[in-house]
């Protein structure tokens, strides 16, 4: 499966380019076959025109019909550049083979200046469809035929960095067909390493269709070449000369290039003869290479011949090897027919591999048909597979139909699985359908499930508009529900804009709400503005101040330990300072146990002081620094009783 995903995008791109090249060639041939130019139109040697009819007007019948729809039947050579671009836009809106050919007819009629204008126009408007991404290839193909150096100059000097990523494939693929050496020279002259690699890749991919060995040699030894290049080269090579591709692959040393070459060979062979591909994969020595080859072949096989793949696997010897092959194929099996895949796995696999495979099948089934998966999961024995599958079904189903998912979850046997699935379903309800969840909430009975949904709704609403979410929370008539919702809003809002949250709470909330959430507010605020958070924390009442100061100190210690220690030293004696010092000790005791001990002895609370001093002395003892520890203890201002406890610990 990973190998197929790895290849998918480049493969589609190459197919698109090849199709574009073929259609473009056909379209140009068609344009070239026109026996004579229309009256009033001057054609150059390639069948292109630099403009409309000599009087600058489109023929009367076109203007009488009016609009771009009337231009659809007009010879492209008789259109202005603006009309050509309008026709192309119209054709792109209804993609088909005939539309593509008609579009290429328009491109074939363009002069060099018109191609330039078309690229500029497209660059200004951006990309809105797949056709927009393929169209530059056609334009550059036409321009390369007329003037490759000018096309390259446009790429170098006028294209934006983002456009260059797309234009490199278009320009250099087309150029490599007409003049390989010139295309390579230009590609190697590009200073930007990433853009150079893309250009060389485009040249190599264009060359691979004609001479894969030459394309492979071109890629060898070059840095920044993406792995899929080798995969594509060997895939095309296998289609042209399988024996040569296999021989070249087998000559490669172990490593990334050999791995990518193997993916290409197996893809190419499996496309034409999947049984032979499977036999070849089985012939490899047991190991990662054999596993990768089999995984790729079996996945492809299941995609278009499920029964044939099943028959092949049935013919394998029972054991760990068969389990491993099946494990790699389960994903493809379950995509084609999850219920048949489930039956097959249950009948043919064993052990942990069987459990993992069944979980994979249920994950896929939950994605495609969650209601059916919910019916079948009840047949599973209680255990790891059941637990994971219930959670997967709840996750997928509640993303689409949360009410149905919740109703199903409520039919499950009471226990941890049901509780987890219900929490997942309620949270997804709030995430994907918050308005409906708010209505559903009002009809729920009291309890933790209602609180879970309330909290989830509050968090979701506050992501978009925290103030509106807070107003909603305060509007709930049930005091417990309102408090739960408000706490959720506050926690989310605190990490977005703690100052704005405080302003709202001071105007519309209560002191209790600020105190209860002081720690969360301080933590979020300290990440944005340490000093403002520190100033605010010191204005709180004693209990809230302790938690808020601890959060500020924690963030400050991570940011700048020296600055934090100065701030902590200036705090008033009390619980807040003790909490901050404990954070400082925890931060530095491993790197500087002596300094940590000096801080620990200043803690006002005896229990916390004893815990922190012993922590630092333990670190010194662990590192064989008992003598130093004894000196620190005896020189400290600790009470004699505390000193004796620490000295006894060292003994």
Q: Read off the pLDDT of residues 181-207 as tens digits, 9 standing for 90 and up.
A: 999 999 999 988 888 888 999 999 999
Q: What is the mean pLDDT of residues 238-265?
A: 90
Question: Which pLDDT value is given to residue 42?
Answer: 29
With tokens 């209602």, the residue in question is: 450
* Percent of the chain with pLDDT strictly greater than 70: 88
Question: Which pLDDT value is given to residue 543?
Answer: 79
> Token pair for residue 171?
């320009």
Confidence bin at 320 (pLDDT 50/70/90)? low
Cα angle 509, 511, 516 (rounded to 5 degrees) comes to: 100
Question: Which pLDDT value is given to residue 641?
Answer: 92
Per-residue pLDDT tens over the stretch 499-528: 899 889 888 877 888 888 888 889 888 888
Question: Which pLDDT value is given to residue 72?
Answer: 53
CA–CA separation, 578 vs 588, rounded Å?
Answer: 16
Per-residue pLDDT tens over the stretch 411-468: 999 999 999 999 999 999 999 999 999 999 999 998 889 999 999 999 999 998 999 9
Residue 4 burial class via C-beta count within 10 angstroms: exposed 0-12, middle 13-18, buried 19 and up? middle
Half-sphere exposure of 239 (CA within 13 A, CB side): 15
Per-residue pLDDT tens over the stretch 379-413: 999 999 999 999 999 999 999 999 999 999 999 99
Half-sphere exposure of 85 (CA within 13 A, CB side): 14
> Token pair for residue 509?
């909330």
Cα angle 607, 608, 611 (rounded to 5 degrees) comes to: 90
Pick the residue with more confidence: 276 or 127?
276
Residue 218: partners with Cβ closer than 8 Å, 6 or more residues away: 184, 200, 203, 204, 207
Question: Which pLDDT value is given to residue 302?
Answer: 79
CA–CA separation, 510 vs 519, rounded Å?
Answer: 16
Taking the whole predicted model, whether its pTM rises above 0.75 is answered as no
Confidence bin at 298 (pLDDT 50/70/90)? confident
Q: What is the mean pLDDT of residues 126-141?
A: 78
Q: Is the dihedral of CA 268, 272, 277, 278 positive or negative?
A: positive
Pick the residue with more confidence: 535 or 348?
535
Question: Which pLDDT value is given to residue 61?
Answer: 36
Q: What is the CA radius of gyration of the chain?
A: 35
Question: Which pLDDT value is given to residue 160?
Answer: 80
Confidence bin at 319 (pLDDT 50/70/90)? low
Phi-psi region of 34 (alpha: psi -120 to 50; beta: other; left: phi over 0): beta
Q: Are 429 and 404 in contact (CB under 8 A)?
A: no
Per-residue pLDDT tens over the stretch 328-358: 778 777 877 888 888 888 887 778 888 988 9
Confidence bin at 325 (pLDDT 50/70/90)? confident
Q: Is the dihedral of CA 225, 231, 236, 242 positive or negative?
A: positive
Question: Which pLDDT value is given to residue 100?
Answer: 85
Question: Which pLDDT value is given to residue 547?
Answer: 87
CA–CA separation, 183 vs 548, rounded Å?
Answer: 64
Question: Which pLDDT value is given to residue 73?
Answer: 59
CA–CA separation, 317 vs 73, rounded Å?
Answer: 65
Mean pLDDT of the chain: 83
Confidence bin at 30 (pLDDT 50/70/90)? very low
Per-residue pLDDT tens over the stretch 458-501: 999 999 899 999 999 999 999 889 999 998 998 889 888 888 99
| Most distant pair of Cα atoms in the chain: their distance | 114
> Token pair for residue 54?
């000599």
């Amino acid at each position: 499966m990973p190998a197929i995903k790895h290849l998918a995008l480049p493969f589609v791109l190459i197919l698109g380019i090849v199709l574009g090249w073929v259609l473009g060639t056909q379209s140009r041939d068609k344009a070239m076959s026109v026996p004579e130019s229309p009256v009033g139109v001057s054609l150059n040697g390639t069948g292109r025109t630099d403009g409309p009819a000599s009087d600058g007007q489109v023929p009367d019948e076109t203007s009488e019909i009016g609009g771009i729809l009337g231009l659809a039947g007009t010879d492209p050579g008789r259109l202005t550049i603006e009309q050509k671009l309008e026709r192309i836009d119209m054709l792109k809106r209804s993609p088909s083979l005939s539309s593509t050919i008609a579009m290429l007819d328009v491109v074939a009629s363009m002069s060099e200046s018109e191609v330039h204008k078309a690229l500029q126009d497209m660059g200004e408007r951006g990309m809105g469809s797949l056709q927009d991404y393929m169209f530059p290839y056609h334009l550059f193909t036409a321009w390369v035929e007329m003037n490759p150096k000018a096309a390259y100059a446009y790429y170098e000097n006028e294209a934006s960095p983002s456009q260059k990523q797309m234009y490199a494939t278009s320009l250099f693929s087309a150029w490599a067909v007409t003049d390989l050496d010139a295309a390579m020279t230009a590609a190697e002259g590009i200073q930007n390493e990433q853009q150079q690699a893309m250009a060389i890749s485009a040249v190599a991919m264009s060359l691979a269709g004609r001479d894969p060995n030459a394309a492979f040699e071109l890629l060898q030894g070059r840095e920044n070449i993406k792995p899929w290049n080798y995969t594509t080269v060997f895939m095309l090579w296998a289609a042209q000369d399988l024996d040569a591709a296999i021989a070249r692959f087998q000559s490669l040393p172990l490593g990334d290039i050999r791995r990518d070459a193997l993916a290409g060979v197996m893809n190419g062979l499996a496309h034409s003869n999947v049984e032979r591909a499977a036999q070849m994969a089985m012939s490899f020595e047991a190991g990662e290479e054999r596993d990768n080859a089999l995984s790729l072949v079996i996945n492809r096989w299941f995609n278009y011949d499920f029964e044939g793949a099943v028959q092949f696997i049935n013919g394998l010897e029972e054991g760990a090897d068969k389990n491993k092959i099946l494990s790699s194929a389960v994903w493809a099996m379950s995509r084609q027919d999850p219920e048949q895949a489930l039956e097959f796995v249950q009948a043919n696999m064993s052990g942990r591999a069987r459990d993992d495979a069944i979980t994979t099948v249920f994950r896929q089934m939950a994605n495609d048909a969650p209601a059916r998966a919910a019916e079948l999961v009840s047949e599973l024995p209680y255990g790891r597979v059941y637990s994971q599958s219930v959670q997967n079904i709840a996750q997928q189903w509640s993303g689409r139909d949360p009410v149905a998912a919740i109703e199903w979850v409520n039919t499950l046997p009471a226990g941890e699985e049901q509780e987890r699935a219900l929490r997942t379903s309620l949270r997804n309800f709030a995430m994907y359908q918050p308005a409906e969840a708010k209505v559903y909430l009002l009809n729920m009975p009291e309890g933790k499930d209602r609180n879970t949904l309330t909290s989830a709704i509050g968090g979701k609403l506050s992501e978009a508009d925290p103030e509106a979410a807070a107003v909603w929370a305060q509007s709930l008539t049930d005091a417990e529900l309102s408090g739960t919702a408000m706490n959720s809003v506050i926690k989310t809002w605190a990490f977005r804009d703690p100052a704005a949250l405080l302003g709202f709470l001071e105007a519309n909330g209560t002191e209790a709400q600020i105190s209860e959430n002081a720690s969360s507010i301080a933590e979020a605020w300290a990440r944005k503005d340490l000093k403002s958070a520190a100033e605010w924390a010191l204005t709180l009442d004693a209990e809230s101040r302790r938690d808020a100061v601890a959060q500020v100190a924690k963030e400050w210690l991570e940011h700048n330990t020296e600055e934090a220690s100065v701030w902590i030293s200036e705090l008033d004696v009390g619980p807040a300072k003790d909490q901050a010092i404990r954070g400082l000790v925890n931060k530095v005791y491993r790197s500087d146990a002596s300094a940590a001990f000096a801080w620990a002895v200043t803690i006002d609370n005896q229990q916390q002081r004893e815990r922190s001093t012993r922590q630092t002395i333990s670190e010194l003892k662990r590192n064989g620094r008992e003598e130093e520890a004894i000196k620190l203890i005896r020189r400290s201002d600790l009470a004699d009783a505390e000193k004796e406890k620490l000295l006894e610990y060292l003994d």
